[in-house]
């Protein structure tokens, strides 16, 4: 894209991938990282020692593979880095893919790790008197407004979403809303905060994602890593 070019509505400016640059693999921080790294290491990738140092402040790491670096960012940011060309490859939950639906991001592989679900939850005391089939409108606290609005729209329910990036479980307690939509794994956090899961929206797993432009300009390298991650995911299942 040239400096003088204008973006049409909904279009994103993507960094031109340079064949001489190192490939960059974006990985998510947090609880999912250990599970993701079990797949990454099966592909033969081993990051530099600082990657495993809890005191390290750097976010970009070299690896044992010449020409491949790793960045470690928030899960939502993995999709953004890959879609805009800051990273060429990434591992990201399909919750993030569904929420943002970036046109420049392609996810060819389900890695079968990071299993959880997006669900609707409400206070335990509300369940007995509540009938979700009679809802016409709801107010929901969530970090997934797009997924939430689409889910309820399919049922003919108008959803007013309050966007939060964390601590969703506090919203009903503090009067922001009566219900939340959030990621659920064991359900222990909901239970500890007096909430109960009443409806599953969808199942979530981690996916291997690539930047479409990079795939076109560096097909041999990108296809190599698609193949390696596919083999690693199948090896985990075996």
Three-class secondary structure assignment of the chain: CCCCCCCCCCCCCCCCCCCCCCEEEEEECCCHHHHHHHHHHHCCCCECHHHHCCCCCCCEEEECCCCEEEEEECHHHHHHHHHCCCCCEEEEEHHHHHHHCCCCEEEEEECCCCCEEEEEEEEHHHHCCCCHHHCCEEEEEECCHHHHHHHHHHCCCEEEEEECCCCCCHHHHCCCCCEEEEEECCCHHHHHCCEEEEEEEEEECEEEEEEHHHHHHCHHHHHHHHHHHHHHHHHHHC
Q: Is residue 6 part of a domain?
A: no
Question: Do 93 and 126 lie in a common domain?
Answer: no
pLDDT of residue 54: 87
Question: Do 225 and 174 lie in a common domain?
Answer: no
The answer to whether 80 touches 105, Cβ cutoff 8 Å, is: no
| CATH number of the structural domain spanning residue 89 | 3.40.190.10
Question: Do 28 and 109 lie in a common domain?
Answer: yes
Residue 154 has which token pair? 């399919």
Residue 3 has which token pair? 């400096």
Question: Do 28 and 57 lie in a common domain?
Answer: yes
Residue 213 has which token pair? 């432009």
Cross-strand pairs, 72: 27
Question: Do 121 and 104 lie in a common domain?
Answer: no
- How far is the first Cα of the chain from the last one, in angstroms, to the nearest whole number? 45
Q: Is residue 177 part of a domain?
A: yes
The domain in which residue 156 lies consists of 116-203
Q: Is residue 9 part of a domain?
A: no
Q: Is residue 14 part of a domain?
A: no
Residues of the chain with pLDDT under 50: 1-13, 15, 17
pLDDT of residue 228: 97
Count CB atoms within 10 A of the CB of residue 108: 14
pLDDT of residue 19: 56
Question: Do 38 and 147 lie in a common domain?
Answer: no
Question: Do 36 and 140 lie in a common domain?
Answer: no
Q: What predicted TM-score, i.e. pTM, was given to this entire model?
A: 0.87
| Number of domains the chain is built from | 2
pLDDT of residue 179: 97
The answer to whether 51 touches 116, Cβ cutoff 8 Å, is: no
pLDDT of residue 7: 40
pLDDT of residue 133: 86
Question: Do 125 and 69 lie in a common domain?
Answer: no
Q: What angle do CA 33, 37, 38 make, to 5 degrees?
A: 125
Question: Do 76 and 138 lie in a common domain?
Answer: no
């Amino acid at each position: 894209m040239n400096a003088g070019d204008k973006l049409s509505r909904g279009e994103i400016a993507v960094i031109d991938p340079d064949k001489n640059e190192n490939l960059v693999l974006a990985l998510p921080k947090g609880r999912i990282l250990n599970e993701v790294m079990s797949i990454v290491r099966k592909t033969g990738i081993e990051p530099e020692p600082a990657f495993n140092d809890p005191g390290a402040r750097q976010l970009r790491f070299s690896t044992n593979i010449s020409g491949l670096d790793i960045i470690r960012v928030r899960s939502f940011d993995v999709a953004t880095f890959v879609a805009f060309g800051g990273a060429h490859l990434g591992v990201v939950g399909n919750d993030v893919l569904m929420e943002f639906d970036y046109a420049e991001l392609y996810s060819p592989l389900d890695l079968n790790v990071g299993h959880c679900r997006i669900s609707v939850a409400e206070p335990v005391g509300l369940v007995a008197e509540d009938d979700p089939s009679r809802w016409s409108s709801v107010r929901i606290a969530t970090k997934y407004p797009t997924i939430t609005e689409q889910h309820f729209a399919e049922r003919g329910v108008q959803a007013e979403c309050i966007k939060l990036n964390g601590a969703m479980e506090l919203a009903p307690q503090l009067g922001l809303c009566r219900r939340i939509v959030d990621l659920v794994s064991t359900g222990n956090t909901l239970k500890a905060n007096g909430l109960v899961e009443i409806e599953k929206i969808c199942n979530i797993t981690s996916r291997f994602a690539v930047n479409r432009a990079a795939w076109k300009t560096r097909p041999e390298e990108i296809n190599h890593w698609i193949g390696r991650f596919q083999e690693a995911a199948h090896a985990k299942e075996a």
